[in-house]
Amino acid sequence: MKSAFCPVLNGEQYTLLGGAQVLHKAFYDHPIDLDVAPVINPVNRFPTYTSLQRNDLTWKALAKSNPSAPTCSVPTFLAELKDIPGLWKDLKGVPSDLRRLYKSFSLVPAAIRNWGNDLLKQVAKGHITWRWAIRPMLSDLRKMIDFCANVDKTLRNLDTLSKKGSLRTRVSLGQESITEPNVSVFLHSNLDVWKANRTTTTTRKTWFCCRWNSTSLTRIPTNYDDRIAYARRLTYGITSYEALATLWEILPWSWFVDWFVGVGTVIQANNNTLNLTHTGSCIMATTRSETKWTVTQAGVWSTISGAPTASWTIKERWSSSPSLPLAPTSAPIVDLSKWSILASLYVLNRGRRKRARVDTMY
């Protein structure tokens, strides 16, 4: 769907001729010279999702919308607490290492190099600590602080399933945006000159909808107190199924495997503590390219009715269900965030590799 607003010019210019004002130029609802139309086709910036991308998005959406999945897994949180003291000690050591490095500048270059290598290791440890321990812990703590709100949401879901037998869910799958560089253009150049900067922004919003249905195996407590207790257990993952998710999370290098195939996501999506089925799953996306012109040079004697705008909107919808048993990612494997993690791991293991090479020489 395309739309555009093309402004018009109005105005009169008089000249003095024989002591009298004579009309010299005039615009009466005169269209500007510029062809106001969308500049970018939205699919040129955000192509249609492939089947592999839709499979990945579906698994992520099912994991987010699953009424059986916990808001914050207390078993996983407790299992990972054992790593916090040592990692926190490494992170706290970074400031003191910075001070020691500063003092080392008065020493020989070799000492500076040694201090620098030690500092890099401490910073790398600090980065890994923050990324894989401190930040997830703070996120879990924030969710735990929202205890009442999380339990109330789960309780409402249980009430809806009990009364209606189904629960309609909608999950946001994110928003992407690309802005083109500004371009200076003429809006009008005949008789009077108008100039503007043209800016085009393309945005894609994606979301997922599905309906979760109760089955003959679904057991929701009818007693209100029992239902509240059940909602608490679901909210914080105090269930037998969550033991499997916890086991995966605490396995070494499970986070690295999830870069390529989202095993953790699939485990969460398949949590069926409530014995539900899902139907009507669909992915929807709205991609919109909007071009705006901002006046930078106004005409001398004419006026304009507004700033030109143009847009091009494409709406897509796919019936969606996981076509693969795992969630192989279609996103770039080594984006900036992942590069920083790999760089930290490289720094931490560099000394070990050097020793291994020395050992092979003898």
| pLDDT band, residue 20 (cuts 50/70/90) | confident
Report yes or no on 344 lying in a domain. Answer: yes
Report yes or no on 94 lying in a domain. Answer: yes
C-alpha pair distances (Å), 133 with each of 84, 124, 141, 150: 7, 13, 12, 23
pTM score: 0.69
Residue 159 has pLDDT above 60, yes or no: yes
Q: Which residues contact 84 (CB under 8 A, 6 or more apart)?
A: 133, 134, 137
Report yes or no on 77 lying in a domain. Answer: yes
Domain extent, residue 313, equals 2-322+336-359
Report yes or no on 330 lying in a domain. Answer: no
User: What six digits make up the tokens of 25?
Assistant: 């130029």
Report yes or no on 329 lying in a domain. Answer: no
Looking at the 3D structure of the chain, how many domains does it have? Answer: 1
Which run of H or E residues covers position 174?
A: strand 166-179
Give the model confidence (pLDDT) of 196-225 as tens digits.
999 999 999 999 999 999 999 999 999 988
Report yes or no on 166 lying in a domain. Answer: yes
Euclidean distance between the first and the last CA atom of the chain, given in angstroms as a whole number: 72
Indicate the average pLDDT of the chain.
77
**Mean pLDDT score, 84-111:** 48
Report yes or no on 327 lying in a domain. Answer: no
Give the model confidence (pLDDT) of 255-271 as tens digits.
565 566 677 788 888 88
Spatial separation of the C-alpha atoms in residues 96 and 126, rounded to whole Å: 13
Report yes or no on 331 lying in a domain. Answer: no
**Mean pLDDT score, 130-152:** 62
| pLDDT band, residue 354 (cuts 50/70/90) | very low
DSSP letters for 185-240: EEEE-SSS-EEEEEEEEEEEEEEEEEEEEE-TT----SSHHHHHHHHHHHHTT-SS
